[in-house]
Amino acid sequence: MEIFWKTIAYYNSATWILQVVIVLIGIVLTAMLVHKPSEWSKRLMKGYMIVLYTWIAVVYYYIYCAERSYNGVMALFWGVMAIIWVWDLITDYTTFERTYKYDFLSYILLAMPFVYPLVSLARGLTFPGMTSPVMPCSVVVFTIGLLLLFARRVNMFLVLFLCHWSLIGLSKTYFFQIPEDFLLASAAIPGLYLFFREYFLSNLHADTKPKAKYINWLLIAVCIGLAILLTTTLFLELMPKG
């Protein structure tokens, strides 16, 4: 646990200015997408998500969390999600079309990354050894809130990865004593449920290729594989050495 918080402090102290820039850009792009949606703003947002997820994979995990023995698999996990965003940008699969069905929950989730550091401060942590808005769980909740605003058609493989990360976040609350992650992961659960609900209501009886039920089984298989890989890695790290 000491290494965990040490790497967070190292990351925050070295990158806080860039984190501020990333947050400000995210606020501007989100406002553009909500108030003046256009093909240009949608593509800009997807490009931003590619950069954001690549940042977490490379800068956060690969560089500043190098002392953690599991940093490689986590960097790979986020790198895969960045690639999913690249694919989405190319294919234009996620349409970013508003549904207005879940706006209340969406705005709560979009605000949660800013609550994250406030909880750290409230429980006595100080900068740089505290959570920040540009960290993995914050990015996950931001993504869920953003997609929930535009839930008409979203990339379910990305949602699957986000769902799995939320479960990892819940486990970290115990192992690394991070109640902030419990707050964020718990807030994400309703959003994830709504994604799957919308997906099955829209596609379960649709004549798609492959069939919706096969896509469902594929999603489940990928989830099981990810669970085995990441959970095993985490527990190996936590086991006493020697």
**pLDDT, tens only, 19-34:** 999 999 999 999 999 9
CA geometry: angle 192, 74, 96, nearest 5 deg:
35
Give me the mean pLDDT over the 197-218 stretch.
Answer: 59
pLDDT for 200 beyond 50:
yes
Which pTM value belongs to this model?
Answer: 0.81
pLDDT for 227 beyond 90:
no
CA distance 203 to 220: 16
List % helix, strand, coil for the chain (3-state, nearest 5): 75, 0, 25
pLDDT score of 239: 57
pLDDT for 209 beyond 50:
no
Let me know: does 171 contact 91? Beta carbons within 8 Å: no
CA geometry: angle 84, 90, 95, nearest 5 deg:
80
pLDDT for 83 beyond 80:
yes
Residue 12: pLDDT band by 50, 70, 90 thresholds? Answer: very high
Residue 208: pLDDT band by 50, 70, 90 thresholds? Answer: very low
pLDDT for 82 beyond 70:
yes
The alpha carbons of the chain give a radius of gyration, in whole angstroms, of: 18
- Per mean pLDDT, which range of 71-75, 142-146, 218-222 is the poorest? 218-222
* Backbone φ/ψ region at 241: left (φ over 0), alpha (ψ -120 to 50), beta: beta
Number of residues assigned to the chain: 242
Residue 229: pLDDT band by 50, 70, 90 thresholds? Answer: low
Supply 55's token pair.
């940042």
* Backbone φ/ψ region at 226: left (φ over 0), alpha (ψ -120 to 50), beta: alpha
Better pLDDT: 228 or 51: 51
pLDDT for 74 beyond 60:
yes
Let me know: does 199 contact 219? Beta carbons within 8 Å: no
